[in-house]
Each structure stands twice: as structure tokens, then as C-alpha cells.
Amino acid sequence: MLPKERRSLAAADAAIRRARKEIDWLGVLPAQAAQAVLKTYVQAWKNCWEGRTDAPNFKARFRTVMSVDVPQGRDLNITRVHRNWGMVNIPKVGRVRFRWTKDLPIGKRANADNRITGARLVKDPLGWHIAFRVQTQEPKPVPHTGPEVGIDGGVTVPLALSDGNHRTHDQWKSTKNKPNTWLTGDEQAKLLRLERRAAQRKQHRRPGERTSNRLRTTYDQIAGLRARAKRRHLDWQHRTTTAIAQHYSVVVVEALQVTNMVKSAKGTVDEPGKNVAQKSGLNRSISQEAWGRTVGMLTYKLASHGGTLHKVPAPGTSQRCSACGFTTPGSRENQALFVCKNPGCGWSGNADHNAARNILHLYRMGHVLIPAAGRAVVRRAKRVKPTAAR
Ligand SMILES: [Zn+2]
């Protein structure tokens, strides 16, 4: 609410200092917590003014991920009490135990170049998690000398590699009896039961009535199962992308096209796709989100291993033959099999493998898209307010 020329972090800081004296409950909060919130808030507005995002809006009480920042690492006093457990001081909470999953620079290993500068507490349906901010000196990676590879986010194989070393998660594969990936049969049965129970309880709720504790418990149980599935998926993605970044120097993927995947699910008139409704709805959004995350992980992991990620334009990679380079109609027999119908060729193989080989070929021919890093800022046209609002 300050005039434009006085909108700075310092002015906002002064305002919150004064407010802490005048408003009792604000004064009870630790000063750092208020400042951390303020800092995030100012950054959100800066992002908006510089055209990177929309204006910040209110958080939803139940939907938004709950998180608390601990802005300083000085008082955390982290100790390791067991191979799997550590203890940490959280302001206003006290000493708590946490699962030790990663090496932290504490004790002798902490120095000016390698230290913990803060933490963040995040709540998800499975409980509270703590993430530590660590400041380290990363050595500049030596250029990677491994082979090049093209990767396609496939239909039959989760990640199809151009050299034939596909990455799958067969243990968590979805089948006819087990439609959801990342859950065991028992867990799926439980999820279905809970969803039915939630639907039943919802029926008895009149409009405007608040959610009963029983219904909320059921919702929490459903969210817990989904979070478990997501955690398994993330784990697989991290392991897979780390292994890829360690082995290959250049990874080529296709630039994502939204309409592309809808078409492949629908199929053609002669050859209708299978499970169209499923694929074009929730599953598609999940698989797209997952693919985006895989590419994101590959980008930073390759960079830290001295490799690079390239994107090539997508059209035709799944229809063209990777052996002769011709697009002959009907070559893609079905979702899984590719048999080249070019009389002089006749190559056959996994359809996803074929696409991955095409992607690598496009890169070798020099059809690489310019990296998006330099032009990440997209300015939106300023909306003109209606006359009444001016
Ligand atoms: Zn061919």
C-alpha cells in the first residue's frame, strides 16, 4: 500500500517492525519468520512486475501446500543420533527427530565453503518433511565423454533410449487388473474402497454443511495413498535420471507438444486408439507432468555431470522409419510395433525405440532448438481495465 517510489524491501521491513509493536499477535511471532514471509512476498511482486508471473494471490486454507521457512541455520543444532535418525531444533517447536536420508555438512565437515544456511518444513499427506539449505563450493564439472543418446517418453516403455537400453518400472506396471501405476494390488483395492466411502459420505452432506470429521479422515487416507504413489514415482525418476546423467554426455529429447499426445491416444479412423478417454483425461495430464519433470531433472543433473540436454522439434518422430528415413503410411503397426512398409527397407522394432533413434538422428543433423534459457521471460500484453475500474 506504499506509494510506488517507496516500495522497497527496506520500507516494508520498517512497516512490519512498527506493526510488531502495535499488533500483539504479530509481536509474538519470531521476527525472522515475519521477515522471511515478507521477503517471499516482495519477490512475488517483483516477479509479477518484471513479467514472469501473475500477481500473487491468496493461499487456500486446505489445498495449498503448508510450508514454514527457518531462515537461519545457526540455531538448528543438528546432530546425528543413529544411522537413520537425526535431531534438529525447530524454533517454537523444540527438538525434533528426523529421518537422515542425505549427508549433511555438520561438525567437522562444516566450514565456510560447506555449511547449512537454513531449512524449510513442508507438509504433505504423509507428514512433515524438512529440507536443509546447504551452501557449498561445487567444482566446475569436467566435460563428459560418454555416448550420445536420444530419449522418447514412450507409450509401451516409460523411457525409450535410442541405443535400446530402455528404462522401465515393471514392478509398478499398470495392468488390466491393476490400472493405477505405483500402487500394489492391495493398495489399489484400499483406494477404491476409500473413494467409495468418501462418495457415500458426501451424499449425506447438505449444501453448506461443513465436512464431517469422518469424511475428512477418509479424504486424508485417500491423499496418503496418492502421496505414496507419487513418492514412488519420484524415487524412480530420480534414480533413472541420475543413472542416465552419469552414463551419457549428450541427451536429446523432443520438444513437448500438447496436441501430439491427444492425437496418439485417439488414433485414426482405421486404427482407433485404446483407452482413449483414459489417456486423454487424467492419465495424459499425469504423464505430461511426469515427462516435464523428467526433462527438468535431466537438465540439471546433466549440467552437474558436465553433459548437456538438447531439444529437437517433435513432428513425425514416431511415424518415420529410423533405418531408411522415409515416412511410409501404415508403418506403425500399433502402439508397440513398428514395421517399415518401405519395400526397400522393412526394418522392424519397438515403436518407442524407433522414435528415440529418430530423435537422436535429428540432433546429429543439426535440427536443435535454441535453448529456452535466454528467452524464458515472456511478456504478457497488459490487460486494459474496463472504464469503470479506472
Ligand atoms: Zn525403413
Distance 161 CA to ligand 1 centre (A): 19
> How many angstroms is it from 64 CA to the middle of ligand 1?
51
Strand order in the sheet with 115-124: 66-70, 115-124, 127-135
How far apart are the CA of 328 and the centre of ligand 1, in A?
A: 8
HSE (CB half, 13 Å, CA atoms) of 97? 6
How many other CB atoms are there within 10 angstroms of residue 273's CB atom? 17
Task: Find the 166 Cα to ligand 1 centroid distance in Å.
Answer: 21
Instruction: Write the single-letter amino acid at 332.
Output: R
- Cα 147 from Cα 123, distance rounded (Å): 41
Tell how far the Cα of 43 is from the centroid of ligand 1, in angstroms: 54
Positions of the chain with pLDDT under 70: 1, 256-286, 370-390
- What's the grid cell of residue 45? 511482486
Q: How far is CA 362 from CA 62, 171, 261, in A?
A: 46, 33, 20
**With a threshold of 0.85, does the pTM exceed it?**
no
Element (H, E) at 370: none
pLDDT score of 267: 53
- Cell numbers representing residue 370 in the block: 535454441
Per the CB < 8 A criterion, the answer to whether 42 and 6 are in contact is no
* Distance (Å, whole) CA 176 – CA 277: 15
Query: 160 C-alpha to center of ligand 1: Å?
Result: 19
Whole-number pLDDT of residue 269: 52
- Residue 93 CA to ligand 1 center (angstroms) comes to 66
The confidence score (pLDDT) of residue 130 equals: 94
CB 335 within 8 A of CB 275: no
Neighbouring C-alpha atoms within 13 Å toward the C-beta of 228: 14
pLDDT of amino acid 259: 45
Can you read off the three cell numbers belonging to residue 126?
504423509
Residue 330, helix vs strand vs coil: coil
> What is the CA(336)–ligand 1 centre distance, in A?
16
- Measured at the CA of 355, the angle between CA 351 and CA 361, to 5 degrees, comes to 145
Q: Compute and round to an integer the Cα radius of gyration of the chain.
A: 26
Query: Which contiguous run of DSSP H or E holds residue 197?
Result: helix 185-203
Q: Measured in angstroms, how far is the CA atom of residue 282 from the centroid of ligand 1?
A: 35
> How many angstroms separate the alpha carbon of residue 258 from the centre of ligand 1?
27
Residue 324 Cα to ligand 1 midpoint, Å, equals 4
| CA of 363 relative to ligand 1 center, distance in Å | 19
| Total residues found in the chain within this entry | 390
pLDDT number for residue 375: 41
| Closest by Cα among 333, 2, 364 to 147 | 364
Q: What is the pLDDT of residues 56-77, one digit of tens each?
A: 888 887 778 888 888 888 888 8
Give how far Cα 300 sits from Cα of 31, 242, 308, Å. 35, 10, 9
Residue 317 DSSP code: T
Distance 192 CA to ligand 1 centre (A): 46
Q: Which run of H or E residues covers position 113?
A: none
Ligand 1 is an ion; its neighbours by CB within 5 Å are: 321, 323-324, 340, 342, 345, 347
CA 95 to centroid of ligand 1, rounded, Å: 65
